[in-house]
Structure 1
Amino acid sequence: MGNAQKKPQGRGPRGGTADKYKVKAEGGSAAEESRKSLANGSSSNCTTQPGTSRPDSPVGKRTESTSVAGALPPPLAQLKNEGNQLFKNGQFGDALEKYTHAITGFTEAGIDSPEDLSILYSNRAACYLKDGNSSDCIADCTRALELQPFSLKPLLRRAMAYESLERYHKAYVDYKTALQIDSNILAAHDSVNRITRLLIEQDGPDWRQKLPEIPVVPLSARQHCTEPPPSTHSHTEEDTKEADRRTEAHFTSLKTEGNELVKKGQYHGAVEKYSECLKLKSDECAIYTNRALCLIKLECFAEAKQDCDSALKLEPSNKKAFYRRALAYKGLKDYEACSSDLQEVLHLDASVQEAERELAEVTALLKQHRATESSSQPRRNITITEVA
């Protein structure tokens, strides 16, 4: 959703996550890998050609006193390059092992190059993300950012891992921080919009007050680009399309599983599947009406009514939503509202026989209910005076 490989045990709650900011193989020897620093708003206005940058290039200008990045001892540089190649080939478990050996060797040798160590942690985090191990991905990204603050790729990977664990507040903060560094990342904008909708639904109109503080990225760490280079723009668009395809496939799979559970009468399980669908796509009317059906079967009438309300906001003329809301009202013994919705169904489609039968039954219930209310009211004694 190849090559035989040893994969580490993932502790994440879901399957692998598509890393939108891929690790590329690094060419050349360690001595050839030293790079030009990004100047503040000068240099080449972000027009680095493909293949010339390192896989996880930290953002910001390096000072003269900083150790030269890429000056790894040959054994560690080889481990890193092997890891990059394995990652490129999709062998994420084997790549993870190479990065782990490189990190161990790096720390044991006491090398003073925080930028290189940050890149190793970030690359290993990418492997964890692919393997669905979001918790370890977050831990490695945090280490990378401690070594190289405001480094773009660890921020984005950690945001994706937080989002996969439904820790939306922290994911939002990391995405917004990343967009301060580079405002041209379309996938990050899409993620912010998606999470914003979830947080509004979850926390209400005051959702911003519940966010952790968003750090202010210093100007020296920001990428001063008027437009993204064509290669970067194309790569981002491809990643976004790939992420959309994965989301759509996962959504369809969950919906199908939910439908199958309904057929088997397993309504609790179906509700869970439909709820997962709505986390991926909160504007799908059919999912609300499907979940409403399950909730009616489980006699959760108030919740079913809410789902029908949500469906009708999306599609004001959806007859399924009206019909199922009518059933929810019936369960709540609100027969007038039930009758009104059933009449709306028949107005939209006069051939719905189920609505006709329900309307006849509810009309009888409504008359009975009114008669009961009338008989229960105390009668007033009226004195009749004879006329002389």
Structure 2
Amino acid sequence: MSVDQFKTKGNDAFKVKNYREAIDWYTKAIDLDPSSEGSGALYSNRAASLTSLGEFNKALDDANNCIRVRPDWLKGHFRKGVALESLNRLDEAQRAFQDALKTEPANEEVQTRLTAINANIKQRNEKSTPQSCKTPDEARIVGNSLFGQGKYEQAAVFYTRAIELTSGNTPEKANYFANRAACHQQTHSYRQVIADCEEALLIDPNHVKGLLRRAIAYEGLEKWQQALEDYQAVNRLSPGMSNVSQGVLRCQRATRN
């Protein structure tokens, strides 16, 4: 049988809500050509079947495969958003629906989903307190969401909670310090930026974001040589970042004057 024949069988099974059979047919079709653009619809259909069965992690995998072969198609991003929402990963679902809208800005179904997600995230953030967060990741997620809304001081409080809940000097803890530094950077609290970046760098001396944010803070305090050294360190670790190259040039000019 051909890909189209397998797909038709899968569609017929899906229509009568025989999702397990539909998955089997879509899988047979995908196996014939798993990386073609045409397989995008098959991954999308299988994701829909898996979602109907409550197998959301597998549906997410298929949605990502759909995006891989057809990145500019709405369906993959939509299926990803639905799977993530079902897994209660609201912030990631929000981004997936936003990506879907980039492909079809007028799509009403996606707009409706995104509006609902935005309301749920807002409600969650309003109800959340640092003490209500019982894991570092829970605090990080709220912090990230608040940061995205421009609520930098509130976000910093949740990153502080993530730090408090993290035992040992783990890479995640370094990230939380760097995240809190980003909040201080937005409010131009440069000395606090430097303090948090140094905590991150004690854990990971090659923490790129820690070095970069400290460079920006040093530059804000007109400590040109220290800023230059950090920018150069970032350049060595992660070459090609245009904002870093520009920072190097600014500091070099400042040290010559």
| TM-score normalised per structure 1 | 0.32
Q: Considering only CA atoms, is the larger Rg found in Structure 1 or Structure 2?
A: 1
Bigger helix share: 2
Q: Which has the higher contact order (CA 8 A, sep 6+)?
A: 1
